[in-house]
Structure 1
Amino acid sequence: MVQWPVSMPYDSPTILHYNGRYTPRPDVNVLAFAGPKMLDLPQELIDRIIDDLHDDWHSLAECSLVCWAWVPASRVHLFAEITLRRKWSRFMHPQFRPFLDMLRTGSSTFAPFVVHLTLEDLDTTPADREEFFPAFLILSKLNSVKSLEFTRWRNFGLQPVENLLPALTDLSELILNNVAIGSLGQLFGMLEMCPSLTSLAVISVTWDTTSSPISYSHAGSVQNLRLIGRPMSPLSSVSKFLDAFIPKTPQSKLGCKTVETRGWMSEDTETIGRFLDSVAGSLQSLRVGFVPASSWGEAGQTFGTHVDLQHKTQLTTFHIDDLYFSDVDSSTILSMVKCALA
C-alpha cells in the first residue's frame, strides 16, 4: 500500500519527482551502487522476488529505487492500493498534493495499476473541502479502480463526485465509512453513477431522515451488502434505505449473496425482514448484530418475529455478533438458530 508522501532515505541513490520519474542523483553512481550482478538478474527472477514482497510496501519502494529493471514489476504491487489523507497520526501531512501532481502530468504511467483507492479525512474544514474539489476530476484518470472507499467525510453531499464516479467504469466495490451526507437522494444519486457495483458497504453513515422514497435501478447487481451502525449511534431511517432495494414489481429480482446488518432501530426490523425475504433465493451468508440501548434494544426481540430464516434455502452461514454485550435473551437467540438450522 502507498501512503503519500513516501519519505526517501537521505542516502538514496535516486530522487522521486512529483511526475513519477525516478532520476539518478548526480552525486551517486547508480550502476556502481547496484552492482553488475544485480543488473544481470533474469526478469523472471526479479518478478518472483518482488511478488514475494507484495505486502511489504516499504521494501517494494526500495526495490523500485535500485534500477529501472525493477520498476515495472514493483509498481504492480506498489500502486495497487492508494490511500490519500490529510491527517496522519498526530501530524498534518498534505499527502494528496504530491500524488495529484504526479497524476496530472502526461508522463505518469502508474494510473492503470491503482485498483483500490481510499480518500480519507479530506474535508475537515470548509476550506479543506473546497481545496479538494478539483481533485475529483484529476482522480478520474484512475479508471482501473475497482474498489473506492470514502472514510471520515463531514459533508459528503457537497462533493462533486459526478466528476469522478462515471469515469470509474470498472468500479465494483464502494465503501462509505463514517460519512455525513445530506439526504438519501444524494446517496442513491451517487450509486446510480456506478452501474457495475456488486459490493456496497454503508458504515456509520448519517443522512436526513425526512428523505422522500427512493428507487435504485441497479439494486439487482449488488451481491454483497453491509449496513452497519455504531453501538451508540445507530443508522437512522434504515427502512427508507432498504425500501430502495426491495423490488417493486415481480419482474425485478435481487441477487444479494451476503448481507451484514448491525446497529439499527427496532422500528426498522420489519423492513429488514421484507428485504431478506426479497433475497431469499440468493442469500448465502447472513450476519446480524444487536447492541444494548434503551431506544433500539428491542431490535433483537423483534428480529425473530419479522425475519423468517426457514425459507432462506440457499443460506449456509448465519452469524450473530456482539452476543456478550447484547440485551437479547437466550430463548430468542435459540429460536433464531433453530430456524436457521431447519
Structure 2
Amino acid sequence: MAHENPPSLWRWMKKSAKTITGNNGRQVKLAMHQERSMPMELSGHIIQYLQDDMASMIRCGLVCRTWLTISRPHVFREICLDNRNTDEFASLIMHSMSTIPPSVQKLELVPSPPPDPRWLRRLVPFLGYLADVSFLNVENVDWSALHSNSRMNFVSTFNTLTELYLGNIIFVELSEVETLISSFPLLESLSLSQVSWASSQSAGSSHRLPPSLKKLTLLSTKIHPILSWILSHDQPHLIKDLGLKTIETADTEAIRQYMVTLGPRLEAITLGFQKPVTHSYIPVDTEAEAELTSSPSSYTSTNPKCIVLSLLTGLRTVTLSNFINHADPLTSSSSFWAPFIIESINSLHVERVILEIS
C-alpha cells in the first residue's frame, strides 16, 4: 500500500512547484526546494574573520545586500585622513544617503609634515558627522591655527572618545593641552608623543583629567609639567597604567611624588630614559646613594633600592622601554638600571617583565 504524502508536506510541494516547458513542448511541474538564507548573525560571525584582510572584506560587500551591511562596519572601522584624501572623504560622508559615519570607530588625522595651518581648520566642520569615534589619533597639526569656536566644535564632536593619541603638536601654552585632554568625559587612555608648548602657563586646578582615565603615556614630552599639574589638585587623579618613556633628571621629583600618591593602585608601569642615565635619574635611598655610580661594573646586589618603586605593591606589569637598540645592541638607555629597577619592585602580583627592543 502506497503511503500518501502528509497534507502539510503536499501543500508545501504544491505551493513551491514550478512549471517549466521542455524541448518537446510538454509542461512539467518540478518541486522546488524552498530557499532559506543564512541567519545574519552567522554570516557576521564568519565574515569577521576577514577583518585583517581588507581586500577580501570589500569583495564580501559586493556579494549581496546582507553581506554589504555586515562588511561595511569592518571596511570603514578605521579611517586615516591626510592631505590627499580629505576632500574625497568629506564628500562621501556629507551625502544624504551615506551610511559610512556610524561605522567609523577609529579616526587618524595625520597630514604630512610640516603642519599646514589651514588643514585641520578646513576639516573641523566635517568631523561633526563622525560622532561615534572611540579612538582618535592627531599628529602634525597646528593647534594654534584653530579659532576658539573651531576648538569647541572639535572637542564637542567626540563625546564618545575613549582613547586619544597626540603626536608632534606644538601648543602655545600648557593650559591648552590641559584644556584639550580634560574635555573628553569618557577618556580611558591618553598618549602624548612629541607634544610641546611655548609657555608653561598652566590652567591649574580649573581643569582635571577625566575621571575615567586609566592609562597615561608620555613619550618625548615634558613629564614634570604634566605630573605637576596632576599633583596640583586636592585629590590627584589615580591611574592604573603609567608610561614614562623619556625620563630626564628634571622629572625625578615629580615622578617621586606621583608614585607615592599612586602607591598600590598602580598596576602597570613603563620606564624609559632620554639618554644613558646616571643615578640621579631615579630617586634612591639617600643613605646608600653614595655607593651607586654610573658604571655598570659597580653594580652589586647590595646597591640601594628605589624606595618609591617598592611602594608600588599592586604592580602586575613592568616594562623597560628602549632596553636594547636593534641597530646598535651595545647602545642602551636602561640596561644598567634594569636589575636595579626590577630588584626594587616589591609587588607580589608581578606577572610580566618586558624589556623592549627599540
2:351 matched residue in structure 1 = none
Unpaired runs of 5+ residues, structure 1, are 1-38, 87-93, 230-234
Asked if 1:308 is matched to 2:288, the reply is no
Asked if 1:110 is matched to 2:115, the reply is no
Match among 100, 120, 136 for residue 148 of structure 1: 136
Asked if 1:254 is matched to 2:237, the reply is yes
2:162 matched residue in structure 1 = 172
Indicate the structure whose relative CO is greater, using CA pairs within 8 Å and at least 6 residues apart: 1
TM score, norm. by length of structure 1: 0.74
Shift of 1:318: 1.6
1:61 matched residue in structure 2 = 58
Is the CA contact (8 Å cut-off) linking 1:304 and 1:336 kept in structure 2?
Answer: no
Q: Secondary structure of the residue that 1:109 maps to in structure 2?
A: coil
1:227 matched residue in structure 2 = 218
Asked if 1:196 is matched to 2:201, the reply is no
Q: Distance in 1 between matches of 2:118 and 2:333?
A: 44
2:85 matched residue in structure 1 = 95
Is the CA contact (8 Å cut-off) linking 1:162 and 1:193 kept in structure 2?
Answer: no
For residues 96-137 of structure 1, give each alpha carbon's deviation from its aligned partner in whole angstroms, at most 9, with x where no partner exists.
Answer: 1111111122221221121111000167454xx325423212
Is the CA contact (8 Å cut-off) linking 1:147 and 1:171 kept in structure 2?
Answer: yes
Match among 209, 214, 225 for residue 218 of structure 1: 209
Match among 241, 247, 271 for residue 226 of structure 2: 241
Q: Distance in 1 between matches of 2:274 and 2:236?
A: 31
Q: Equivalent pairs: percent with the same residue?
A: 22
TM score, norm. by length of structure 2: 0.71
Distance 1:329 1:285, change over 3 A: closer
For residues 63-87 of structure 1, give each alpha carbon's deviation from its aligned partner in whole angstroms, at most 9, with x where no partner exists.
Answer: 213332221100121111111112x
Match among 335, 339, 345 for residue 340 of structure 1: 345
Match among 174, 178, 181 for residue 171 of structure 2: 181
Q: Secondary structure of the residue that 1:308 maps to in structure 2?
A: helix
Distance 1:209 1:326, change over 3 A: farther
Is the CA contact (8 Å cut-off) linking 1:176 and 1:205 kept in structure 2?
Answer: yes
Letter in 1 for 2:143: F
Distance 1:220 1:276, change over 3 A: farther
Distance 1:184 1:63, change over 3 A: same
Moved more, 142-151 or 45-54: 45-54
Is the CA contact (8 Å cut-off) linking 2:90 and 2:126 kept in structure 1?
Answer: yes
Moved more, 172-181 or 129-138: 129-138
Q: Distance in 2 between matches of 1:264 and 1:58?
A: 42
Is the CA contact (8 Å cut-off) linking 2:267 and 2:317 kept in structure 1?
Answer: yes
For residues 4-37 of structure 1, give each alpha carbon's deviation from its aligned partner in whole angstroms, at most 9, with x where no partner exists.
Answer: xxxxxxxxxxxxxxxxxxxxxxxxxxxxxxxxxx
Match among 226, 244, 259 for residue 276 of structure 1: 259
Letter in 1 for 2:38: P
Shift of 1:336: 2.2
Is the CA contact (8 Å cut-off) linking 1:290 and 1:326 kept in structure 2?
Answer: no
Q: Secondary structure of the residue that 1:180 maps to in structure 2?
A: strand
Unpaired runs of 5+ residues, structure 2, are 1-34, 285-305, 325-330, 348-358
Q: Distance in 1 between matches of 2:338 and 2:51?
A: 42
Aligned ranges for residues 41-80 of structure 1 at < 5 Å?
41-44=37-40, 45-80=42-77
The aligned length equals: 281
Shift of 1:244: 1.6
Shift of 1:40: 7.1
Moved more, 64-73 or 278-287: 64-73
Q: Distance in 2 between matches of 1:120 and 1:312?
A: 37
For residues 120-176 of structure 1, give each alpha carbon's deviation from its aligned partner in whole angstroms, at most 9, with x where no partner exists.
Answer: 0167454xx3254232122122111111110222x2232333212212221111100
